[in-house]
Amino acid sequence: MLPTLPSTLPNLGGHTRGRLLRCWPLQRDKFGVYLIPDDNPAIEYHFIGGCRSVEEAKTRLQEIANRPASIFGAGFNAAEVEFRERQKVATDNTLELLTEKELGESIREHYDRALGQMTKSKAIKAFLSYGNCIFLLTAVAIWLFWTHSSFTVPKSLDLPLVGNRLDGITLNRETVARYFPLALFALYLVKFGVLLRTNLENDLLRRKVLTLVIHHSWRVQQFAILLTSIRKSMEKNGLGWLVNVSDWMHDLNPGSLGNLRQRSAVSTRNEVEDAPSSTEPTPNANQAMTGTVRAELDQRLADWIPDEFDRRMHSLYFLDKEREYSRFAICFDPVLYVVSLNRIVFRVYEFLRGKGIPIDEINAPQDPYLVQRVVGPMVWILLAGHVLIFGGVMGWSFLVAGASSKLLLLANILAMAAVLIVPNVWNYLALVRRRGFPKMEPLGAYTVGPMTPNHLSLL
């Protein structure tokens, strides 16, 4: 009988049960612990992974249960947690018909299309995105309302929604005020459509990644090679300067994985230089060499990286088992997610600091869990700021516009309500309720790290 565990984990709801399962098919010789909510037994939350035996998994589980304020409560006995073999997981039947090469090529083409759009767009048009125009329009409205002046639209300016139809037209404060809420609503509506399209593409990428991993045994190395081919595409599309800037910033970052490993290499060389010289290595010298920081770090990385990949793939697989999940709601890029090593980089930093190696504490890699600790208050601050700024300017526009038709007034009121409610509700569900990504993952697992940061698609 599986023990029922009272859960204080955020947003899990109800109670959870613990299971020990073989981590199939990513690490066939490793075991882990997974939490299963009582109110949604179809899902599993990754809790502990990378264990070499059932006994090791139970030992680690008991150590966590013995900590103060543990989620498992007093008197928990890990020995009673049941071991179960994981059944073979299923993927998208349509994608299973594609070959490994076709799947990898389709992912690469997805990014090639995005790169092509970047290179074909003019600088001004790229700057005038729907999201940027929301803030630009609000800034122009504030300036017009405050200064009682007018604004002439520059010629040949390709604006979102209206294109070149406003070329050379002079807009006064009353005209802008009369249609400001409706214009803001229209920009948000189109931005919402773009967001839904992006999320559908993310869901398709998720299913392709799962198929490559489960049916074609892809690991983080294959996805890294895929990203390397995307870098080559960037160079062919005239974005080689961006690749060079990214490499330069990565080389300068003292918290990157490469630079942290270099610190361990320096420590290893220092140990060898300080060791007594000898023409022939002695058994003690060989033992000292295998016990260097670099050797120990590489051994740990050999365990950490596959375990981290397994954890992220597990999250991707069970994501659509979430009751709040929708293909329109997934708000992160799955490919960037599975190759991100931000949690590994932070582990390496803590490992080297524990060894007493001098490292840069000012530019230390960010703890992925730090974002989760501050996201609650920050969300409420952002939501309040959105209401105050946009609500205040739209309310101001009603005063400046003066008398208008009842139909236009009603349309503006409805547009104002939609602008103030829909984006805030959507962002609250994503950031606080974690709709659109696994509930057991902190936000920092997506948005921080030495690689190109994965960003959440929000309104």
Secondary structure of residue 4 in the 3-state scheme: strand
Same domain, 214 and 108: yes
Domain final residue pick, 53, 88, 123: 88
In a domain, 33, yes or no: yes
pLDDT at residue number 283: 43
Same domain, 43 and 119: no
pLDDT at residue number 106: 93
pLDDT for 11 beyond 60 = no
Same domain, 224 and 159: yes
Q: Which pLDDT band, with edges at 50, 70 and 90, does 126 fall under?
A: low
Q: Which pLDDT band, with edges at 50, 70 and 90, does 404 fall under?
A: confident
pLDDT at residue number 5: 39
Q: Which of 187-196, 246-255, 270-279, 402-411 has the lowest mean pLDDT?
A: 270-279
Same domain, 438 and 344: yes
DSSP state of 6: E
Same domain, 196 and 64: no
Same domain, 314 and 386: yes
Same domain, 42 and 109: no
pLDDT for 102 beyond 50 = yes
pLDDT for 12 beyond 50 = no
DSSP state of 301: H
Distance CA 404, CA 19 (A): 65
Alpha-carbon radius of gyration of the chain: 27
Same domain, 350 and 441: yes
In a domain, 13, yes or no: yes
Secondary structure of residue 306 in the 3-state scheme: helix
Distance CA 285, CA 329 (A): 57
Same domain, 66 and 196: no
pLDDT exceeding 70 applies to what percent of the chain? 82
In a domain, 373, yes or no: yes
Distance CA 4, CA 19 (A): 11
Number of domains in the chain: 2
Q: Which of 63-77, 124-138, 357-371 has the lowest mean pLDDT?
A: 124-138
DSSP state of 56: H
| Contact yes or no for 415/181 (Cβ under 8 A) | yes
Neighbours of 98 (CB within 10 A): 18
Distance CA 35, CA 44 (A): 6
Neighbours of 241 (CB within 10 A): 10
pLDDT for 14 beyond 90 = no
Rounded average pLDDT over 81-104: 84
Q: What is the chain's length? A: 459
Residue 35 has, within 13 A of its CA and on its CB side, a CA count of: 25
Domain final residue pick, 28, 56, 88: 88
Contacts of 244 (CB under 8 A, 6+ apart): none
Domain final residue pick, 56, 88, 120: 88
Same domain, 64 and 101: no
In a domain, 281, yes or no: no
Write the DSSP assignment of 169-187 as a string of letters.
-EEEHHHHHHHHHHHHHHH
| Contact yes or no for 340/448 (Cβ under 8 A) | no
Largest pairwise CA distance in the chain: 97
Across the chain, mean pLDDT equals 81
**Residue 264: which of 369, 363, 345, 362 has the closest Cα?**
345
| Contact yes or no for 160/187 (Cβ under 8 A) | yes
Question: Can you read off the two tokens belonging to residue 242?
Answer: 């961006």
In a domain, 340, yes or no: yes
Residue with tokens 């139909």: 407
Same domain, 41 and 145: no
Same domain, 53 and 113: no
C-alpha distances (whole Å) from 117 to each of 120, 126, 237 are 5, 9, 10
Domain that holds residue 64: 4-72+81-88
In a domain, 195, yes or no: yes
C-alpha distances (whole Å) from 295 to each of 264, 267, 301, 352, 360 are 9, 11, 10, 12, 21
pLDDT in tens, 307-344: 999 999 999 999 988 888 889 999 999 999 998 888 99
In a domain, 287, yes or no: no
